[in-house]
């Protein structure tokens, strides 16, 4: 029974370590190659959130140019052939949004830059910025200049740091291999300890 219990512990730790090695996906919006960066989260319970995730999964990076809409305090991007609509079914009702909230409509894609809550009809909130510092309209104006009417942003999917710019493929592979080796060594040592524990336990019972 003690041996079986030890095996159960071994399997549990093994599963936890496999989860540690598994890739962790993160989403970022970057300006000017990383001059400014904001992490964001997607709502996978929405049509638009799933669609944007699918496109990022396929392309890893999507570059979009947004117009600065001062009146509504938003960044706005009309859909086109290069970036078709994120939704096919029109959402019904009003959706509230604040700074950092990402909204998808039938015709346009919006990111809120206002400090106070606003609302739009027939949109769905598909995600939000995790850090909103430096994402107000005043901050955006400071980045692009008061005379600019638009801003180009990169939407990026990173998987466990593998897609981080400036790191070579060889380095990325080496980082992953090191993690795997640490897990293998740890499991081997743990296995030896369990075997030793079983042997000592059996000797003591004699």
Q: Please check whether residues 151 and 124 belong to one and the same domain.
A: yes
Q: Is residue 14 part of a domain?
A: no
In a domain, residue 193? The reply is yes
Per-residue pLDDT of the chain (206 residues; tens, 9 = 90+): 455 455 555 555 555 554 444 458 999 999 999 999 999 999 999 999 999 999 999 999 999 999 999 888 999 999 999 999 999 998 888 888 899 999 999 999 999 998 767 778 899 999 999 989 999 999 999 999 988 899 999 999 998 654 444 444 444 455 556 667 777 887 778 778 788 878 887 777 66
Residue-level pLDDT at 160? 67
- Helix, strand counts (H, E) of the chain: 4, 10
Shared domain for 182 and 118, answered yes or no, is: no
* Dist. CA 17–CA 25, nearest whole Å: 17
Helix (H) or strand (E) holding 112: strand 108-112
Task: Output b/e per residue, 13-37; b: 16+ Cβ within 10 A.
Answer: eeeebeeeeeeeebbbbbbeeeebe
Q: Is 3 inside a domain boundary?
A: no
What residues make up the domain containing 197?
169-205
Q: Which residues contact 60 (CB under 8 A, 6 or more apart)?
A: 156, 157, 163
Clarify whether residues 98 and 144 are in a common domain: yes
**Assigned domain for 13 exists:** no
Determine the straight-line distance between the first and last CA of the chain, rounded to whole angstroms.
16
Domain boundary among 126, 141, 159: 159
Is residue 183 domain-shared with residue 120, that is, in the same domain?
no
Residue 9 inside a domain? The answer is no
Residues 173, 153 share a domain:
no
Same domain? For 107 and 176 the reply is: no
153 lies in the same domain as 133? yes
For residue 10, tell me if it sits in a domain. no
Do 95 and 182 share a structural domain?
no
| Confidence at residue 177, expressed as pLDDT on a 0 to 100 scale | 63
Instruction: Decide if 11 is inside a domain.
Output: no
Integer Cα distance of 87 and 105 in angstroms: 7
Q: Do 174 and 148 lie in a common domain?
A: no
Residues 181 and 120 in one domain: no
Verify that 132 and 182 share a domain, yes or no: no
| pLDDT for the residue 6 | 52
What is the reported pTM? 0.67
Domain count, the chain: 2
Residues 194 and 124 in one domain: no
């Amino acid at each position: 029974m003690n041996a079986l219990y030890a095996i159960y512990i071994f399997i549990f730790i093994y599963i936890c370590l496999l989860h540690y090695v598994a890739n962790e996906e993160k989403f970022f919006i970057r300006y000017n190659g990383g001059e400014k960066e904001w992490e964001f989260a997607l709502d996978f319970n929405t049509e638009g959130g799933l669609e944007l995730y699918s496109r990022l999964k396929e392309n890893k990076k999507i570059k979009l140019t947004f117009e600065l809409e001062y009146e509504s305090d938003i960044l706005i991007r009309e859909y086109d052939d290069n970036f078709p609509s994120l939704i096919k079914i029109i959402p019904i009702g009003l959706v509230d949004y604040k700074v950092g909230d990402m909204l998808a409509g039938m015709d346009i894609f919006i990111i809120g830059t206002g400090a106070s809550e606003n609302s739009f009809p027939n949109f769905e909130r598909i995600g939000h910025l995790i850090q909103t510092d430096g994402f107000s309209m005043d901050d955006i104006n400071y980045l692009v200049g008061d005379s600019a009417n638009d801003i180009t942003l990169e939407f990026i999917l990173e998987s466990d740091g593998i897609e981080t710019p400036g790191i070579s493929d060889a380095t990325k592979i080496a980082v992953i291999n090191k993690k795997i080796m640490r897990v293998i060594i740890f499991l081997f040592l743990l296995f030896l300890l369990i075997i030793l524990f079983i042997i000592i336990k059996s000797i003591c019972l004699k």
